Every structure is written in structure tokens, then in C-alpha cells.
Chain A
Amino acid sequence: MANDSMEWSFQTAQGKNHTPLSLENVHVVYNIRRGEVQAVRGVDLELHAGESVALIGESGSGKTTLGLAIVRLLVKSAQITQGKITYRRDGREVDVLSLKPKEMREFRWKECAMVFQSALNAFNPVLRIWDQMLDTARSHGWNDRQAVRQKSLELLRFVQLDPERVLNSYPHELSGGMRQRVLLALSLLLEPQVLILDEPTTALDILTQRTILDLLRQLKEEQHFTMIFISHDLAVAAELADRIATMYAGAVVEMGPTEELFYNPRHPYTLGLIRAVPTVAGGFEELFSIPGSPPDLIDLPSGCPFHPRCSFATSRCREEEPSLTQVGPDHYAACWHWHDVEKELERTPLHRGVHAIQQGGAS
């Protein structure tokens, strides 16, 4: 599409196990007046080609900061203090954290695009959608107006919008759901390999949300996009993710295949989240909240940061922070007591899966 100015090193062999994005021990710190906010603390993540990974967790868990770190759009007060982010395409790899600003701009749309939560803020209010599409293409050296128009029309049709009408509209003339879809089309314009979506359906009405979820599923299943979903909503993860990473206090505390995480969680925090969220079609179940509130990221609790809220906590948890260990096939959890979580689930199984469906609406 455009000339390549990034410095690539030829290294990886491309195949089925191709890994477009690897994060190694990534740390992000915000410097504020009160001190250092440890927003991301040592995250390792391997994103395989064609898979979608959901980062779930509550506000302040570090999931959005991590997404912003990958495309290096962090605010000035934030700093990536440690770690390595490696991006690969066509058998070559590049160190994302050492890219120069110009290279980074190119990387951001053409290789790895991020779709933000507030779709209105992402647009320039005085430009028509067409001009924003064209601007984006031009700033990446794509100057063929006709081709850009063709691609834009095709993408807008894909996101189920009336393409001609939308291209001639200003952002304020579109509804929230339409803007979110335009943003998705815009992010696909330069055919990135990796798509990062931050709360892609939050604040949208149910039926609009469904349209977006179905589109994303289509991207995943038919076009095999590699995607990272950032969401506080477990339902979005259940619908779209192949793998889930639960984040708490800036760290990944559990990671595994979606079904494993939902049906056999091994970290007490993941279990707590699942037990706090009702389903609609799955019969009536009792819900439990997680006691306490999220930790102060400036002054983290000692040991495992979840221990003050955890019913499994022992003195060891107050002293030593556990790291991720394997608890099942492709399934990792950072908990000293994951065996106890397993036993607990044998005693009181989750009201999920086929079991819940067969019970239907029985109370």
C-alpha cells in the first residue's frame, strides 16, 4: 500500500503458530502528585494469529493502560518503565518500544489499530466522515482518492451502514451506534493485522450492541483478525474471546481458554467476577459480590494484592505475591490456593453451561 520505513529484522518463521504480538514483562507507571501509580505490573502476553483475547477486569485493573501501551498512546505522565513489546508480520519482527514517532504513527493504523470507547471523541467534529477517511489514508501515504473511496464504501457496507449517506455526514449527525461502526470501519481502512478494541459496546443500547458484537464475530470468524478486547463486561468476553486474561491491580492473574475460565476458574478473583454477574437466559441464580474495593495502586497491599478481598487468603498471601503457574491445559493462574478454588467449585458448582440451560427458567 505505502512504502515501508520501519526497521524490520528478519527472524521469525511464519506458520500456524505465528505470533503477531508478544508482550514481555511490561510495566507502566503514572507519575502523579501523590506518587507512582503502578498501573501495569509485569504483563506477559502472546497473541497468536487469528485469535481474540479479552482483557477483563474492573476499573483501575490496568487493562486500558495496557492497550494504550501497545500502541504507545499513553498520556505524558505515564511511562513504560520496563518490558518489551515485539510485533511480527510476514516473518519479520520489530521492537515496538524503540520505534521513532514517525514509525509509530505508521505502526498505529497499518499494523495495529485501536478503537476507543468514546466514539464521538475520536472524530474531528468539523470534518465529514469522508474527509476523515481520506485524511487517515493520506497521512499514511495512500493518495489514490478513488481507491480510498472504494475501500471506504466497502467497509461501511460491511458495518451495515448506508455508505454514501454516512460518508457525507458529520459525526454529530450519526447516532452512537453508527459512530461506533464508522470507527470500526475507519480502523480497518489500512488493513491492520491486529485490532485492539477498548470497551467496544459499552454505553450502547442492547440491539445496537448486538449489531456490533455480530460484526466483530464476523471479523474474527471470517476474516481471522487478531484482536484484543478490553472490557469490564464478562458477557462481551464470553461472546467474542478465544482466550481470556483476567487483570487485577495491573497484573494478569488468570489466563486461559474462554470456556475454561468461565467453567473452571482457578483464581478467586475470576471466580468472584463470575459469581457476581447474572445471566439472562440461564435460570435464576444467587449472586455474590466481592467484599471490599479495588486496591490503591500507589500503595498496593503486600503479597498478593487481592488478599484483603479474598476468602481463600492465608498468611502466605499477605507476604508473597504469586506468579502465573499452569493449572490446566493452556490455563494459568496466579494464586497460592488454586487447588482450594478447585475444591470449592466441586462443593458448590457454578450455575453455568449446559447444566444451567437445562434448568431453564426454573427458580
Chain B
Amino acid sequence: MAPIFELRNVTKAFGAGKERVIAVDSVDLTIEQGEIMCLVGESGCGKSTTGRMVAGLLPPTSGQILFKGQDISKLDRESYRAYRRAVQIVHQDPYASLNPTHTVREIITAPLLRHKKAHSRADAEKRAIELLEIVDLTPAEDFMGKYPHQLSGGQRQRVSVARALTVEPEFIVADEAVSMVDVSIRVSLLNMLSRLKNEFNVTFLFITHDLALAKYFAWEGRISVMYLGRIVEEGPTPRVITDSRHPYTQALLSAVPEADPELARRKRRMELRSADIPSLLDLPPGCTFHPRCPFFVEGQCDTLTPQLEPIPEGGRVACPIRKSERIELIAL
């Protein structure tokens, strides 16, 4: 079976001339049916742009995006509509993505009727209640008449997910979907999303800046780390978290604060050569991480653009110098 998504050498540029910014640069990425793929990176690394391209909200500047083996730019009208229905996106800010003048009932039933997932109002009502129960908004009847402002942040995000589910998607792009929600409620949202994967075989592209969340949600899946538009490391989550090889991934892992004082104390610090992230308007030559990388090798890192190469431990690493070096982040 073809993977659900395949990105081949996908590039997205914004602007022109001097203002031209390459937000996503030559990304190759395969996402298998039923897996969780997590895109992590700092702001401006291109993770959200990648998600928007996958969801069909932005066309790539070059390269191909294949959905179940077919190039989405070459789909006929009918297949394109099917693809757009099959792939839904859940945004970071449920305040902004739900219409404040519509009740939960209207928010959920409208797409059901429009996409003929329900044949009558009564049918739509029944289905809406089922969907609210799936996202743990119970008793569902109590939520149907509410407006977004009457709900908490976590509840609103559940409504966003229920709305995405109206069209029975096979794939959900979750772009920082739990980042704005309070800590105590985050986990139940993540567990709800995991259940969608297990019970409805939904495949996830989970986009986050939070490595701890990525680790928790995608433990059985994979993580791809992006830096300045490129994927620098990719692999099964446990390998990326415990045995990262790219210096940028290692820098992130060593820098991330830990909710455990002992761990925080024992973590090895990785000193970067520069604290400042280069501008996308003026990217360094060669490996774009070289001006900050502690393992910088002159004449190599600043001239050659490293490509992702497979490593025996699983996944791929875009650093020919460090890809075979294991480092311990915790001093015992």
C-alpha cells in the first residue's frame, strides 16, 4: 500500500527578489497510514508551512506532494474534493477558528449536511451528539446550544476536533493543537487524539514546538526535527529522544527545561557558538546550523549542504560528521 503522504523535494518560497524567503526547503517525508508523525522545531522552521501544504491550504513552490500515491496537484475535481475532505487541520487557537456567532450545534451540523454525511436535520443532530461524545464533551446535549465563548479553551479545542471529524477524515494535521490549553487538561486532549488514531485509524501530522509533548504523543510514531526550512533529523521517537545524532536536535534536547529538579541539574549543557538564529533572508552557506554548531568543521560544514542519510539505529540524519556519534545528555 502506498504511504498516505509522500513529500518529494517540497519547497515553499514566499515573496520575491530580495525579500524572497524559503520557508520550506527540499523536504522529503513519508507518512505511513495509521502512524503519528511529529514535526518539531522552533518558530520559523517551516513546520506549520509544511502542515498547511499537506492539508492543501498552500501549494508548494516546487516538488510533489503525493496523497495515497497520487500527486495532489494533478487530481481531478472529484478526487481533489475527496482528498480535501480526507485531510483536516486543527489549529492552535480555538478562539480564532470557531465562528463566535454559531452554536456548537451549528458548527457541527453544517458540515455534516453540506458534505451529505447526514441526510436530514434529525440525522445531523444525532450524528453531532455522537461526535461530541467521541471528543468527551458529555453530556453532549448540554453542549449543543452553547456558543464558543461559553466554553473553556480545552472544550473549544474539542469542538474543533469534533468539527474536523464530521467529514470522517483519514488524516489530521494538528498544528500546536494543545499548546494553548492548560497543563491539567492537555493530557486528556492528547489521549482523546490517540483514541482517534486507535479506534478510527486516523493518521496524524502533529506539529509542535514542545519536545516533551512530541515525545509523549508520538512515542510509538516518528519525530522529524526541522531547522530553517529543512528536516535535519528524523526517526522513531524513542531513538530521536534518547539517541539523537544531529547537533541541532541535541542542542534542543539539552536546552529544554525539565519538570524534574534532579533531571534539570544533571542534564549536560550544550554550548552553542552563537545564540542568534540566522535570518531566513540571509541563510548561511552549507549546513545552515554551522554558525552555531559546536562540532563545526571548517571547509566542510560551511560549503556542503548535508543531505539526510539513514543510520542503522533508525531514521535519517543530515550531518555526515556526527551521525555515528552517540552522546549522553544526562550525567549519572
Q: Enumerate chain A interface residues (CB-CB to B < 8 A).
A: 58-59, 160, 175, 201, 205-211, 213, 232-236, 238-239, 258-259, 262, 272-274, 276-282, 284, 287-291, 293-294, 352-354, 356-358, 360-361, 363
A207 touching B330, Cβ below 8 Å = no
Given the interface contacts A207-B252, A239-B257, A289-B188, does A281 sit within 8 Å of B213 by beta carbon? no
> Given the complex, which residues of B lie within 8 Å of A234, measured CB to CB?
183, 259
Q: How far is the CA of A206 from the CA of B263 in the complex (A)?
A: 17
> Given the complex, which residues of B lie within 8 Å of A272, measured CB to CB?
184
A238 touching B182, Cβ below 8 Å = no
Q: How far is the CA of A175 from the CA of B42 in the complex (A)?
A: 14
Q: How far is the CA of A333 from the CA of B241 in the complex (A)?
A: 35
Q: Please indicate which of the listed interface residues A160, A259, A277, A291 has the most CB atoms of chain B within 10 Å of its own CB.
A: A277
> Given the complex, which residues of A lie within 8 Å of B42, measured CB to CB?
205-207
Q: List the one stretch of B108-116, B264-272, B294-302 in contact with chain A.
A: B264-272
Which of A258, A276, A293 is in CB contact (< 8 Å) with B154? Answer: A293
B257 touching A273, Cβ below 8 Å = no
Q: How far is the CA of A163 from the CA of B332 in the complex (A)?
A: 39
B260 touching A206, Cβ below 8 Å = no
Q: How far is the CA of A281 from the CA of B262 in the complex (A)?
A: 11
Q: Size range of the interface on B?
A: 35 or more
> Given the complex, which residues of B lie within 8 Å of A287, measured CB to CB?
187, 190, 216
Q: How far is the CA of A211 from the CA of B254 in the complex (A)?
A: 12
Q: Give the Cβ gap from A272 to chain B, nearest Cβ, in Å.
A: 6
With A206-B252, A278-B259 given, name 9 new contacts (CB 8 A). Answer: A58-B182, A175-B276, A206-B42, A233-B259, A235-B257, A281-B258, A281-B267, A289-B187, A356-B263
> Given the complex, which residues of A lie within 8 Å of B330, measured CB to CB?
281, 357, 360
> Mind listing 25 A-B residue pairs with CB under 8 Å?
A58-B184, A206-B209, A206-B255, A233-B259, A235-B212, A235-B257, A238-B258, A239-B257, A239-B264, A259-B262, A262-B259, A272-B184, A278-B212, A278-B213, A280-B241, A281-B263, A281-B329, A282-B263, A284-B219, A289-B188, A289-B189, A290-B184, A352-B260, A360-B242, A360-B330
Which of B209, B238, B263 is in CB contact (< 8 Å) with A361? Answer: B238
> Given the complex, which residues of A lie within 8 Å of B329, measured CB to CB?
281
> Given the complex, which residues of B lie within 8 Å of A201, measured CB to CB?
257
Q: Give the Cβ gap from A198 to chain B, nearest Cβ, in Å.
A: 17
Which residues between 31 and 69 of chain B lie within 8 Å of chain A, taking CB atoms? 42-43
Q: Give the Cβ gap from B51 to chain A, nearest Cβ, in Å.
A: 18
> Given the complex, which residues of B lie within 8 Å of A363, measured CB to CB?
219, 238
A262 touching B261, Cβ below 8 Å = yes
Which of B215, B241, B256, B260 is in CB contact (< 8 Å) with A353? Answer: B260
The 9 closest A-B pairs by CB, nearest first: A361-B242, A235-B257, A210-B255, A289-B188, A290-B184, A289-B187, A205-B42, A234-B259, A278-B216
Given the interface contacts A238-B257, A262-B260, A353-B262, does A294 sit within 8 Å of B182 by beta carbon? yes
> Given the complex, which residues of A lie within 8 Å of B272, measured CB to CB?
207
Q: Does B24 belong to the interface (CB within 8 Å)?
A: no
Q: Give the Cβ gap from A242 to chain B, nearest Cβ, in Å.
A: 10
B184 touching A280, Cβ below 8 Å = no
Q: Give the Cβ gap from B228 to chain A, nearest Cβ, in Å.
A: 12
Q: Give the Cβ gap from A269 to chain B, nearest Cβ, in Å.
A: 8
Q: Give the Cβ gap from A147 to chain B, nearest Cβ, in Å.
A: 28
B263 touching A289, Cβ below 8 Å = no
Given the interface contacts A207-B275, A289-B186, does A279 sit within 8 Å of B259 by beta carbon? yes
A236 touching B257, Cβ below 8 Å = yes
Which of B185, B258, B261, B332 is in CB contact (< 8 Å) with A293? Answer: B185
Q: Does B152 belong to the interface (CB within 8 Å)?
A: yes
B184 touching A160, Cβ below 8 Å = no
> Given the complex, which residues of B lie within 8 Å of A356, measured CB to CB?
260, 263
Q: Enumerate chain B interface residues (CB-CB to A < 8 A).
A: 42-43, 152, 154-155, 182-191, 209, 211-213, 215-216, 219, 238, 241-243, 251-253, 255-264, 266-267, 272, 275-277, 329-330, 332
Q: Please indicate which of the listed interface residues B188, B251, B275, B277 has the most CB atoms of chain A within 10 Å of its own CB.
A: B275
B275 touching A208, Cβ below 8 Å = yes
A352 touching B262, Cβ below 8 Å = yes
A289 touching B191, Cβ below 8 Å = yes
> Given the complex, which residues of A lie within 8 Å of B276, measured CB to CB?
175
Q: How far is the CA of A208 from the CA of B256 in the complex (A)?
A: 10
Given the interface contacts A58-B184, A59-B182, does A280 sit within 8 Å of B258 by beta carbon? yes
Q: Give the Cβ gap from B83 to chain A, nearest Cβ, in Å.
A: 33
Which of A207, A280, A358 is in CB contact (< 8 Å) with B215? Answer: A280
B212 touching A279, Cβ below 8 Å = yes
Q: How far is the CA of A354 from the CA of B332 in the complex (A)?
A: 8
> Given the complex, which residues of B lie within 8 Å of A277, measured CB to CB?
183, 212, 259
> Given the complex, which residues of B lie within 8 Å of A207, measured CB to CB?
42, 251-252, 255, 272, 275, 277
Q: Please indicate which of the listed interface residues B183, B184, B252, B255 has the most CB atoms of chain A within 10 Å of its own CB.
A: B184
Q: How far is the CA of A209 from the CA of B256 in the complex (A)?
A: 8
Chain A residue nearest to B184 (CB atoms) is A290
Given the interface contacts A205-B209, A360-B330, does A278 sit within 8 Å of B215 by beta carbon? yes
Chain A residue nearest to B255 (CB atoms) is A210
Chain B residue nearest to A181 (CB atoms) is B275
> Given the complex, which residues of A lie within 8 Å of B182, measured CB to CB?
58-59, 232, 294
> Given the complex, which residues of A lie within 8 Å of B211, measured CB to CB?
206, 280
> Given the complex, which residues of A lie within 8 Å of B262, measured CB to CB?
259, 352-354, 357
Q: Give the Cβ gap from A270 to chain B, nearest Cβ, in Å.
A: 11
Q: How far is the CA of A128 from the CA of B329 in the complex (A)?
A: 41
B242 touching A209, Cβ below 8 Å = no
> Given the complex, which residues of B lie within 8 Å of A208, measured CB to CB?
275
Chain B residue nearest to A360 (CB atoms) is B242
Q: How far is the CA of A239 from the CA of B261 in the complex (A)?
A: 6
A258 touching B261, Cβ below 8 Å = yes
A58 touching B183, Cβ below 8 Å = yes
Chain A residue nearest to B239 (CB atoms) is A361
> Given the complex, which residues of A lie within 8 Å of B186, measured CB to CB?
276, 289
> Given the complex, which residues of B lie within 8 Å of A262, measured CB to CB?
259-261
> Given the complex, which residues of B lie within 8 Å of A358, measured CB to CB?
332
A280 touching B256, Cβ below 8 Å = yes
> Given the complex, which residues of A lie within 8 Å of B213, measured CB to CB?
278
Q: How far is the CA of A137 from the CA of B242 in the complex (A)?
A: 49
Q: Give the Cβ gap from B327 to chain A, nearest Cβ, in Å.
A: 12
B275 touching A233, Cβ below 8 Å = no
